Amino acid sequence: MAWMHRKRDTHHPFLLLVNGKLIRDESIDPAWSLAFYLRENHIKGVKVGCNQGGCGACTVLISRYYKEEDQFRHYSANACITPIASVHGSHIMTVEYLSDAKENTCHVIQDAIVKGCASQCGFCTPGMIMSLLAMAYTEPDTRLNITQIKKAIQGYRSILQAFQNVSLCNSKAVNDIEDIGKGIQMFESQRTVVPHDMSTIGGCLSVDNSASDLQTLANALEWSALYFNPVSQAHSEIKSAFPTHPQSQSIIVNVKIPFTMMNEYTWAYKLSRRRFFDTAILNIASKTQVIPADNADAKIFKINLSFGGSAIKRFSLLFTYGTKPEDLSSELFIKMNNDIQKEISSHLNTHMYSITYISALAKNLLKKLYEYLHDALHPSVSSIHQDPDEMALTQLKATQMIGTTKLKDQIDTDLVWRAIPHESAYKHATGEAVYCDDIPGFKNELFLELVWSKRAHAFLKKVDVSKSLEIEGVVGFISHEDLKDKNMFGIIVKDEEIFASEKVRCVGQLIGALVATTPSKAKLAAELVDIQYIDCHPRILTISDAIGYKSFFDEHSTSLKVGDVDSALENSEHVIADEIKLGGQIHFYMEPQSAIAIPKGEDGEMELIVATQNPAEVQLLVSRTLGISQSKVVVRVKRVGGGFGGKDSRCALVALPCAVAAKKFGKPVRCILERRTDMIISGKREPFLAKYEVGFNSDGRLHAIRMNIYSNAGLSLDASSVSIERAVLNLDNAYHIPNLDVFGVPCKSNKPSNTVFRGPGTVQGSHFIENILDRIAANLNKDPADVRLVNMYKESDYTPYGQLLENSTIRQCWDECIESSSYYERRKEAELYNSTHLYRKRGLYLIPCHFGIGYIYLPLNQAGALVHIYRDGSVLLSIGGVEIGQGLNSKMIQILKSTVDSNHELQNLVTECNSKGFVNKQSSTILINCFVTKLIEIKGPSPSTADQRLFAISILNILPCWRYPQSAEGIVTDDFGNLLTTGTSSYKIPTALDIPLEFNVSFLEGSSNPKAIYSSKTVGEPPFILANSVYFAIKDAVRQFRKQLGMDTKFKMDSPATVEKVLDACNDLYEPLIV
């Protein structure tokens, strides 16, 4: 929150048009953001997901009238980082302006989102709609192409497909602003890139940011800027030294960009963690002068190099050979590389990357420059033509995305099998959907800001809040002293303090909270808290640390034994012992952790509105903390802006402090975390480590596996015992392991307590067995698909936990996927391609999935439903589930309508328990079937009701093996336990541009399962497991590279496969520069 706590009176009123309505404000604070101001004025369609300008949920359209030109100019902007003062006199259009709830109308883009089944949690949907609309405004004479749409929305395939069906054009005959942009026609041949509308060259050159690509280019190409100081009225010029400022008050008045000469060659390149929309790890720009110009005998006269990036402090190097121009040669570039490496060592500016990695990147960029110059100066004999490796010099460019989804024949009256929109899709698209922070403020409402530890393991010597309490509007401070014997919580065991009392055990552990009358005052007060620590040891940050100090949750370990592992290993033809590491993952839900606590004033009753997947657990924890019965605590959840498990238990970090503060001060208390704080204090997917020994025969058949599995649970257990349990139970994935001895235990460390994440434990267990089979295939020099098939489950096999496999379709799925994907044909094509390309490789992989639904702890498998049919024919369905974007409410409506065969309107759907979808469908269907017979007896003809909104369900029986992984790049902390990936600028998740160009989905015919509701096999977690195929395809590409160079094809590459790990696996690139 970038706003200040004090409003300033202005001489002239602040004027702003918002959605056609004039706002005149006499007292604004220039430090406010536009998003804050709009939301304070009840424009809730502008969502704040990151407050860093990175997620796009707050996108708005800014229009300004230019009198000299007698026309409007339109700009898209991230409202969360747009200063309110910068939009004085402008018109702001938000998503609310595009629809009219009273008239039941909406914009064509909004309608496309709905009908394309393109919204999930819906939190960022308004921002995507406004991004696309802004492109139609800012490119009035240009047809937008699919590449531009991908860059505008950064979503997933359903969104892209929805927008491809929209046709926007800028008609010259339109009368009103809302009439502009009725459709977009997309042509891939046009590759216009639309920059951020609010960006300027001068602004980019002014920012003190080594990662700026433009500054690197400006320094190498010798741009200059003229600065003016309004105080001294002096002018000064800066050339090739950006972002140097003559004085802090100076502003850029013009920029000079020189033309290149005939004998000059310019080149630039950028390396980042994500192919698009990412800051550079390292970037380079160069301008090379040769003499004579345009001659095959040209020699190097001068090379001007500039380096930048988030990993280094910007620097430039000038290589001049005026007296003796040099030939373009390996020797020349090796000398240049020596100088560059010295500069890299002295300019390293990061804890996220090693000096070895950055040095390797610089060397490889220099190699690319050499190849570029070689091709430019000697095109007839260039290595590009000698070697079909031309792709090594060019970036891969996206072509038209294609995909198919093969569904079973659908009957119009069969609601369950129809692909229909989300139950709240229109609300998502129009900005009407209400999330926790959209709830209007209560009278006398207070705001809470958390105070958390900056040390990983330390005693609290002093916590001084005196300066904080001196701020006008600060109501008070809450800490462990307000809770006494009620300070412990936990969902399985109560082993974590709500507020640290004597010692902090991780960076991010809560120490207390400041409560004030405004969010900005609470934030300022929290920053002024004086905390003194006494560090203590050990500081356990990794699983290896925990193993060394024997720091385990021993009582929550899990083991599974089948057969005689010792004998089987002894009799195996081959035995391998190794270890597998699997990194953690941040949930990155769009809506941050949020809670509002409202004291009811009678008998200690408390009402909470919480963004949670588990309101029942919140109710229990709040009642225990406040010392009141559960019946006096009401927890409400309308919808949640994404969760993935991150809002199952760790939402207590905001809900409990809010409840304590509301009880103490007797007023409603609201806490909405900033993205940075959310990412630091909240739990994440646990990192895992598996140490194994596997025995197998020469045909690849498994004999035995012995494995120890460790997870980094953090400072408390939370639900990590569930993850370790499921990792043990799902180690088999889709394979028969005759002899198995596996043990798993969560590790206790000085990290924030980790928690469940989509597919907890199942993802890790399946990854371990797939890694083992990949290693076996490499050892035996066999196709990994053949090794998997020989070990795959058959009908009537037993799993290690004793389940008989009935109606098993795994081999049928496997055969159909091989056929539909043309696997073996593609394998031959990849081999041919790889044999003729050194630096570009094609990897190919096929992964099956055997997924079990359920938990050992039986209450977790329970669910309930309650159906009320009122006398007017309306229906109320209450279920034990939470809508977090998975379409649970829509599925329940489909099942109800299909079972009851009712045309009556479903008035409401009430949430009670948690976010589990499958078990709720089961309970709802059983319940509905109990009363449907009685309903049929009394049902007669009824008139048609109003249009009904029914929503999509995916019945997943088979998926292809190339679904894009949801896993993000690795979580990075420093040696002191501080999280370095704390926002959209440092933690990168996939975008629409990362979706596979060919994405096919099919469903297996004739695979109904009588034990599952409508043969449902869940929709979220099995595809996640299949994303293992992407990791192993990358690994396969690396293996082909190593194989071509005569290197060992048995190598380690831990997940996630970040660019750094991939480069490390191709470890010959760390050798001296060879061009």
Tally of CB atoms within 10 A around 836: 10
CA 210, CA 216: separation in Å to the nearest integer? 8
- Using DSSP, state whether 817 is helix, strand or coil: helix
Is 613 known as a binding-site position? yes
**CA 875 vs CA 81, 423, 917: distances in Å:** 44, 15, 20
Catalytic residue among 96, 449, 912, 1021: 1021
Cis? peptide before 292, omega within 30° of 0: yes
Cis? peptide before 538, omega within 30° of 0: yes
Give the contacts of 317 (CB within 8 A, at least 6 positions apart).
304, 305, 306, 307, 336, 339, 340, 343
Is 307 known as a binding-site position? no
CA 552, CA 689: separation in Å to the nearest integer? 14
Token pair listed for 967: 């896993």
Give the contacts of 280 (CB within 8 A, at least 6 positions apart).
211, 213, 216, 270, 271, 272, 308, 309, 310
Is 758 known as a binding-site position? yes
Give the contacts of 188 (CB within 8 A, at least 6 positions apart).
145, 146, 147, 399, 400
307, β-bridge pairs: 284, 315
Strand order in the sheet with 71-78: 21-25, 14-18, 91-93, 59-66, 71-78
Radius of gyration of the CA atoms of the chain, in A: 30
Tally of CB atoms within 10 A around 251: 12
Token pair listed for 365: 């960029």
24 φ, ψ to 5°?
-115, 120
Determine whether 969 is an active site residue: no
Token pair listed for 413: 């009256």
Closest CA to 688 of 625, 637, 628, 731: 731
Token pair listed for 71: 């026309």
Element (H, E) at 711: strand 702-714
Answer left, alpha or beta for residue 807, where phi above 0 means left and psi between -120 and 50 means alpha.
left
Token pair listed for 993: 């541009």
Give the contacts of 817 (CB within 8 A, at least 6 positions apart).
823, 846, 958, 960, 961
Give the contacts of 1006 (CB within 8 A, at least 6 positions apart).
none
Which amino acid appears at position 48 of this protein?
V
One DSSP character per residue, 564-578 reads -HHHHHHT-SEEEEE
Give the angle 666-669-674 at the CA atoms, nearest 5°: 160
For the chain, count helices (H), then strands (E): 28, 34
Closest CA to 793 of 807, 810, 777: 810
CA 1037, CA 1033: separation in Å to the nearest integer? 6
One DSSP character per residue, 445-493 reads -EEEEEEE-SSSSEEEEEEE-HHHHTSTTEEEEE-GGGTGGG-EE-SSS
Closest CA to 224 of 235, 232, 209: 235
DSSP 594: E
Return the sign of the alpha-carbon dihedral for residues 139, 143, 147, 153.
Answer: positive
Per residue in 883-918, is it b (16+ CB within 10 Å) or e — as a string?
Answer: bbbbbbbbbbbbbbbbbbebebebeebbbbbbbbbb
Question: Which positions are annotated as active-site residues?
Answer: 1021
Annotated binding site for Mo-molybdopterin: 613, 644, 758
Annotated binding site for FAD: 213, 270
